[in-house]
Chain A
């Protein structure tokens, strides 16, 4: 099953991921991404991958493990 990986050092809090997949991503008080669900169902793959690719600093990837 694909999973979301986040680079917390890279995250700059732009919140594009939150808008792209609000059920998978949030920001904490410091503006760093919080991954709400790590495992991505096949039906969500396109939507969550596009949300990850909308990160301006490439802090998120959806990978098959």
Chain B
């Protein structure tokens, strides 16, 4: 009897699940459903190379028609998932008849949180390829870009816009940028970085209102100041795309709620991957949802394994990893950082041009690390996290590398 896996969502998590199923030897039908009519594409370059115009759109395709055909993946693009009938094992789609499944993988990702200051020409969010095209078109007119939100997307787009020659102001209600992720000392360095590249930063201040039209916006800030801008980018986070599951009976709570094997807690033939998935992480002993590229890829592998090995499923217990490229800084974050963790810093951005902040929860073991422009430290941290290295061992190793003479001698 033929088996069918339907994957709803054609971004990185969905595409990698389809590919990993074939790699695992899955012989059933694979249907990959996408809401956009675009061939699947990769999102990280949208705030960087695609926005800058240094990468062709063709270079970010995750799967071409030929590759899909060769792998036996049926692409069903331009159809949004509107519901799931669990008892009948059917997915309902907009503009298409219901599609039956033996296994369902929910990979619908997350959407940019919409602008609370209105949505009209010149006010942008950045999540899809079409968003990036529209923002780029406006940036090419030059002028002053106001970025609301100094998270990864906002900071990357600000850096790209600056490289295109625009005047850029970044506004964030947090007093120190990135302090949701890092501790203030490290966050401060990110603010310094942006200012050193000519970006104006207004931190610890919210946006009260946004008036005017494209080319002549006026942002009224909570500190009473007014900022003029020709274009505005709103980068204030993302919301999981789980609304279409409301009538399915699946447990949804800020993402689809899954067990440790990434199976829906109430339907064992339904899985989820990527930004929309909230699963039980056994080593963290909590339900978590992660909006990062590497998580979507690793979770896709795990789900493909679990679909093809139902008798021996694997619990999904990844070490978090995310990167961000801002100006000439390559920022890489491994494991869990910030919060109340103790940390120590090796290197300094101004002295060495690179640094690593090592975080510990118990004073001994490595809980996470934030690394800038230091590939060897990144490898040491990622390998070390897997092997259970202590912070002291890692410090000794990295400090010897920081001294150029010691590095040559080794």
Contacts and interface: CB of A to CB of B under 8 A. Distances in A.
A46 B23 contact: yes
Contacts of B325: 12
Interface stretch (B175-183, B185-193, B376-384): B376-384
A13 B16 contact: no
B375 A30 contact: yes
Given A13-B330, A56-B323, A29 B293 contact: no
A26 B297 contact: no
B378 A15 contact: yes
Interface string A17-50: 0110010001111110000000000000010011
Contacts of B294: 14, 16, 54, 56
A17 B294 CA distance: 11
Nearest to A55: B297
A13 B372 CA distance: 12
B318 to A, nearest CB: 10
A54 to B, nearest CB: 5
Contact of A19 (B23, B293, B382): B382
Nearest to B15: A53
Contact of A27 (B298, B319, B323, B378): B378
B297 A54 contact: yes
A27 B297 contact: no
Interface residues of B, number: 26
B332 interface: yes
Interface in B277-301: 293-294, 297-298, 301
Interface in B184-218: none
Contact of B301 (A12, A22, A50): A50
B333 to A, nearest CB: 12
Contacts of B99: none
B378 A50 contact: no
A31 B332 CA distance: 12
B211 to A, nearest CB: 39
A31 B375 contact: yes
A19 B293 CA distance: 15
A12 B330 CA distance: 9
B44 interface: yes
Given A13-B330, A13-B375, A31-B375, A50 B20 contact: yes
Shortest 6 CB-CB contacts between residues of A and residues of B = A31-B375, A13-B375, A27-B375, A54-B297, A19-B382, A27-B379
7 contacts: A15-B382, A18-B382, A27-B378, A31-B376, A46-B23, A46-B24, A53-B297
Given A16-B321, A19-B321, A53-B19, 7 more contacts: A15-B382, A27-B379, A29-B407, A31-B376, A56-B42, A56-B294, A56-B323
